[in-house]
Amino acid sequence: MRSRKAPTRLLPPDPIYGSRLLTRFINKLMQDGKKSIAQSLVYKALDQIKANTKQEPVAVLEKAIQNVAPKMEVRPRRVGGASYQVPVEVRGDRKEALAIRWILASASTRSNKEFHSFDRKLAQELIDASQGVGAAIKKKDDVQKQAQANRAFAHFRW
């Protein structure tokens, strides 16, 4: 185990919108170090959001992440040979990380019939999440319900 916690690095804001959250979003989407491809996909999605909703795209992104971020989750805790799903509160950075992960996952699993490219899928998923609907919101609700169902084991918190 490490002797101390690794320091968190401050990410630079993205060059176009100046948002650190957008930088985290792009970095999470990036595969095999191809950041320019991830940036172009996200910026295309943001342009489509602006065209479709006539709203500020970064505000829609922030609202979507805020809506998808869970308040509670379950973590396994081993007590006397049995594993219990213990509900715990989700901290700030992990909230954002889970929200970003769920939005990207639900955007990639959207059907290809209505949207052909990933940027369109991502734009629609962000719009849906900002309005409180969609697959990412359903995932958040499932996690919250699981935490609610296991609240009897809350006394096992560490």
pLDDT of amino acid 158: 66
Task: Give mean pLDDT in consecutive 10-residue pieces for the chain, a chain of 158 residues.
Answer: 85 93 96 95 95 94 96 91 91 94 94 80 94 95 94 81
**pLDDT for residue 69:** 96
Q: Give the pLDDT score at 122.
A: 94
Residue pair 138/110 in contact (Cβ under 8 Å)? The answer is no
* pTM assigned to the model: 0.91
Which residues are within 8 A (CB) of 151 and not within 5 positions of it... i.e. 6 or more apart?
87
Architecture of domain 20-156: Orthogonal Bundle (1.10)
pLDDT at 151: 87
